[in-house]
Chain A
Amino acid sequence: MGKRSKTSRKGKKAWRANISSEDIEDFFEKTTRDALSGGNLSAAPSEDLFHVDKSHDLPVKRKIEKHRERVLRVDSILKKNPFVQLVPSSKPKLKKSKKTIVIEDKAPKQVQKSVGDDSVMADLWGDDSKGEHESNPRKIFKNPSIISAVEIEHPGCSYNPTTESHQDMLAEAVAQEMQKVYKTELGPAPVPLTIEGDTLSEDERYFLDVDNFSEGEDNENVENEVSEAGIKLKENPFVQLKPSSNTNLKKIEDKTPRQAQKSVGDDSVMVDLLGDDIKEDLKYFLEVGNVGEGEDNKDVKIEVSEAGNNVSRKTKRVTRVELNKRCRQKALRKKETKEKAKEKILNEIDSLPNILEEIAKEDEDKQNKHLRRVIAKQEVLKIRPPRLGKYKFEAPPVQVLLTEEMTGSLRKLKACCTLARDRFKSLEKRGILVPSKQIRRF
């Protein structure tokens, strides 16, 4: 039969009974076989399959070899000297051979260790190469002070100097000392710790007697308080008087505008007087007209009427001629102002080179000031360091021989015995140490 026998698929029950479980059974069979035989060998790498098992041997050998490998410090010290021969240890021959083998194997390590331990001197700069510069992690900031580490003294400080240079240095030393003296003299006088007292006068004794009455103190204090209160009450009217003085000032101020007003009134009176004069003149003309003949009288009347008309016109209206004059003058003024403006602009344009010269001069002055300041700063830095702490740097005194001390002989030279101070001051001067006024106590 090539084919499987067809099973009935009539219902669910019939169908389930005929499902084959052959694959599952095969898988289970394989896994049990692998577990019993030690795993699937096809997947394992060859390193795991083929290796030597040494786990049992390790502890015994290690314990033994540790003792044998140890080298005494004495031997490492003696190895430094190539002329000293090592003394062989007295041990059986079999172990000797093993020991020598072990030592030969690890000799370079021991040599390196001994070198490191016993600090044999080495050349720090033996491996100078540009590569190591790059390996240096940090560029160390160097002190930028211009002052040299060892400053050479002036030739006047020689033990047998020229007379001129010696006098120069003596003068300088004397000047320094005199400056100190002047500073102390011109400075403020110190505050005294004690002050002399004065003798007591009889009035003060009276006050002392007051304090002696212990019983009466309270009463007297009360009386004083009352008297003080009275004084305060008396002081009040003084306070009140002050605003009254202010009111007086205000009154004075009020009077002045009234006088001004009066003066204004006087001006109006003057105007009235002028009017009266004009009327009198008119009357005079009328009287003159009345004296003449009849025809003349008529002419006079006409003239009088015309005169009145003229007066009224002059005060009221302005003639065309004047208006025209005013227009012409305005035009002239405009032209003049324009011309003045033009002249002003031209003058400014002409003075431009002068302005530029002034600007250039100012710039030069600024640059010169800046240069001077920079140079002064540098020169100050040459003399002393910037202020680093609480105190400023003080230069040490100059070491010069006096004229009597100059003998020209090295044997008799009275030399400086405090060179440590000189070195210390030099370190302070270069800004390496912070100057301080530390005085040790014995």
Chain B
Amino acid sequence: MPKHYRPTGKKKEGNAARYMTRSQALKHLQVNLNLFRRLCIVKGIFPREPKKKIKGNHHTYYHVKDIAFLMHEPLLEKFREIKTYQKKVKKAKAKKNEELARLLLTRQPTYKLDRLIRERYPTFIDALRDLDDCLTMVHLFAVLPASDRENLEVKRVHNCRRLTHEWQAYISRSHALRKVFVSVKGIYYQAEIEGQKITWLTPHAIQQVFTNDVDFGVLLTFLEFYETLLAFINFKLYHSLNVKYPPILDSRLEALAADLYALSRYIDASSRGMAVEPKVDASFSSQSNDREESELRLAQLQHQLPSSEPGALMHLVADNNKEVEEDEETRVCKSLFKDLKFFLSREVPRESLQLVITAFGGMVSWEGEGAPFKEDDESITHHIIDKPSAGHLYLSRVYVQPQWIYDCVNARIILPTEKYLVGRIPPPHLSPFVDNEAEGYVPDYAETIKRLQAAARNEVLPLPGVGKEDLEDPQNLLYAGVMSRAEEAEAAKNKKKMAAQEKQYHEELKMEINGSKDVVAPVLAEGEGEESVPDAMQIAQEDADMPKVLMSRKKRKLYDAMKISQSRKRSGVEIIEQRKKRLNDTQPSS
């Protein structure tokens, strides 16, 4: 007999007392598996991994405290009540008492998840922090088709669509969008709200498909919770803008599938107050339906509220204070597409571009009824098109592919449009979520964008060739010449010279592409190049010799070790470049 022998069935110790399997949990709570799953999802309880799996490696373990937490949940009793009520309905139908069944269905008991949201997220910042999954799920279900087999109702799909549009309208209004990345799966967005970075994934505008290996019942339970969460967050955010929530939209624009535009108009109107009334009257006087008229009246009356409230002046002052407190990045995002007018062609993903352009301060229109302006408008600056060729061309505007907008947004500058014109293959779309300098390898186009950014900010970046000791490299001489030119342009501070500088960059790139002979020729032609050679040589020699002379032996060893690690990194980068060269050789057309 061991010292602390306990016969089986008696008190437990250790992991056996702290964890229980799923079957034991179901017995303890006296529920079936479906209900248990729903409760776990809604309460945020998930299985855990004990250090020692007592019943075997093939079981799912839950913590005993978690199960006790579920046991004291009032929703458990509510679900049971709903179940018994549905039995009544079924009984009435079985007895062919249709009237009673209908009466019972109208009085069905319902439940709410508000308390659970407050319980799981005590503060608003906590809710924002956990919003990534919520937004992605809601955006997914806004695109899925409704089906009876999966218990996905049309009403629910519409609700998801409405919530996503409300969220996007807030993002564009507050100019909180920071990054966009278009991948094969979908379009990734990142926004920053109250210091929290929120990332979500939107599927492309194609038909999403139900698959066999996904349990949509579980996803629908998650969706139910996330819908409620997003609604409350939207409420809080809209009220921070002094806008009423839920919004009442223009039914005409809703019918024309322009929900986002209608929401934007609603926010502008409600924030401005009385100024919108005459426009609304003028534009919608032709409508004859009574229902629409009554809804319009309701909307107008609601617009009157902020100006007529006694605290309206305080709200305005608060708004002014908030505007002052905006980030520098928000200012940059607000003014990127300022004074630009965009027209979207039919085949372009409209909702995505609409969100991005309005979030960065631009004006947008599209083909179709209800758009703010038509294609004939002469003040349009950019026409977004995704065809091999455009039919009728207006000379006053630029015809660009949609990637141009995304790349401008990620670079925070307006990029030159030559490479993005219609009929061309655009340059590679880079991911803004990758830190190139940390990885050590910078693609060519990223470097080009960096130079354009520097030109926009009137800065001169350190040239990549300076670090090398290869003095005979012709690129080094080129860069030295470019520095002097850049300094001259900087002194002048003229926009024209900046444009000329951009052209120089392009010319240099072309020279590099053409080959080494062309690169050598202008160096020989220019007299300044010869003079700069000895200066560069002397500078390089001094830079190489000075630290080694002054250092002690210990520091010199350390320095050499650093050089070794740097050379390793450089060799990795060189491997990638060699691979690129090989690919370019195999595919000359690219």
**A-to-B contact residues, CB < 8 Å:** 81, 83, 119, 121-125, 128, 132-133, 136, 138, 140-143, 148-150, 152-155, 157-165, 167, 386-390, 399-401, 407-411, 413-424, 426-427, 431-434, 438-440
Contact = CB atoms under 8 A, between A and B. Distances in A.
Given A133-B122, A423-B219, A432 B46 contact: yes
Contact of A128 (B114, B123, B587): B123
Contact of A163 (B123, B207, B590): B590
Given A150-B136, A164-B579, A158 B431 contact: yes
A420 B222 CA distance: 12
Nearest to A81: B298
B163 to A, nearest CB: 13
Given A121-B231, A388-B49, A415 B430 contact: no
Contact of A158 (B49, B112, B213, B429): B429
A149 B133 contact: yes
Given A387-B57, A419-B186, 7 more contacts: A122-B235, A150-B199, A162-B445, A416-B203, A418-B211, A419-B203, A434-B47
B386 A409 contact: yes
Given A150-B199, A434-B60, A416 B47 contact: no
A432 B218 CA distance: 11
A150 B201 contact: yes
Contacts of A167: 579, 583
A196 B14 CA distance: 55
Given A417-B207, A424-B219, A124 B44 contact: no
Interface in B167-181: 181
Contacts of B58: 389-390
A162 to B, nearest CB: 4
Contacts of A132: 122
Contacts of A142: 44
A123 B140 contact: no
Contacts of B186: 415-416, 419
B209 interface: yes
Nearest to A422: B185
5 contacts: A159-B184, A389-B59, A417-B207, A421-B211, A433-B46
A389 B60 contact: yes
Contact of A140 (B120, B402, B579): B120
Contact of A399 (B66, B117, B185, B298): B185
A432 B46 CA distance: 5
B428 interface: yes
A133 B218 CA distance: 31
Interface string B100-138: 000000000000101001111011100100101100110
Contact of B181 (A138, A149, A158, A421): A158
Contacts of B284: none
B206 interface: yes
A423 B208 CA distance: 13
B429 A415 contact: no
B215 interface: yes
B210 A152 contact: no
A420 B214 contact: yes
Contact of B69 (A138, A160, A162, A413): A138
B184 A128 contact: no
B213 A438 contact: yes
Contacts of B348: 410-411
